[in-house]
A = this chain, B = another copy of it.
C-alpha cells in the first residue's frame, strides 16, 4: 500500500497493529476519524492512554478495577469461599451477565502456552495457590476454555492445590440450550451424554 502522506501512513500502521485489523480496515477507520470532528480523535486517544497508564487490577482477583478491591470482591453478599478461575475479564463479564454465580473470581490473565512463551510465572497463578493454602477457599471452579492450553493450565493448578483438600470442579459443557442435537459437534455431544445430570436437576432451570 503506497501512501500519499507520512502522517496517514503512520496512523494506518499503528491502527493495523491491533489484532484482526488489516491495513485496509485501518485505512477505513482512520479516514472515518478525519471526517469526524477532531474532538472524537482526542477523546479516543485520551481514553486509550488513560486506561493504559492508569489501569489497576483488583488485588484479590486481578480483575480490572478502578479501586484497590473490585466491586465483586468488595461485595459482602458474595461467597468468598467459592473461586471461579477464568482467563480474562471478558469471562467475568459473561458469567456476571448470567446472574447465576455468587462466588468470587480469579483472573489468570491468560493460559499456559509454551508455544507463545506463556508459562505459569506469566500468569496470576501463585496468588490463587496462596489463597487455597491459607484455607479461605472451599471450592475452585475451572472455567477456562477447553483447549489444550486450557486443560494444561487447569491441570497445573490442580496439581498444586489438590493436597489442600479443596473441592475442584469445571463448568458443565454440553449442547447449548435450544440447540438441535444434530448440529452439535461429536465431542460436545459425547461429553454432554457422559456428564448427564439427574432429570430433576434440569427442572430447576
Contact = CB atoms under 8 A, between A and B. Distances in A.
A197 interface: no
Given A19-B32, A30-B51, A89-B31, A4 B63 contact: yes
A19 to B, nearest CB: 5
A71 interface: yes
Contact of A4 (B18, B40, B72): B72
Contact of A45 (B2, B48, B90): B48
Contacts of A50: 7, 10-11
A8 B64 contact: yes
Interface of A: 1-8, 10-11, 13-15, 17-21, 25, 27-35, 38, 40-56, 58, 63-66, 70-72, 88-90, 92-93, 96-97, 109
